[in-house]
């Protein structure tokens, strides 16, 4: 299961529908929860076309990509995706 989590002023976070239209200045995270033990890899493709690994990340479980049921993983770890006019 994956979901988009929108960040609001004051630190509040709320899961929002994937169809949400964001505006410049909005920020989000992606939350992933798996239903079985396994290994997870997630990459993001930026506007430049460059691929960047989001998971595993040294900031999440020391870079370990093993995942388990019932654990929520918030990406990117310690950061947000922030929308701008581009």
pTM of the full structure: 0.76
Please tell me the predicted confidence (pLDDT) of residue 30: 92
Percent of the chain at pLDDT above 90? 51
CA distance 66 to 16: 27
Residues 6+ apart with CB under 8 A from 62: none
Token pair belonging to 67 = 């995942």
Burial of 13: CB neighbours in 10 Å, binned 0-12, 13-18, 19+: middle
- Identify the band that residue 16 occupies on the pLDDT scale cut at 50, 70 and 90: very high
Please tell me the predicted confidence (pLDDT) of residue 76: 80
Q: What is the mean pLDDT of the chain?
A: 89
């Amino acid at each position: 299961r994956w979901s988009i989590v929108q960040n609001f002023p004051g630190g509040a976070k709320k899961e929002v529908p994937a169809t949400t239209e964001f505006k410049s200045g909005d920020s989000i995270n992606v939350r992933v929860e798996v239903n079985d033990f396994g290994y997870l890899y997630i990459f993001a493709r930026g506007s430049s076309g460059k691929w960047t690994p989001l998971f595993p990340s040294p900031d999440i479980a020391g870079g370990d990509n093993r995942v388990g049921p019932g654990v929520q993983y918030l990406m990117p770890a310690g950061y947000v995706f922030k929308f701008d006019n581009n």
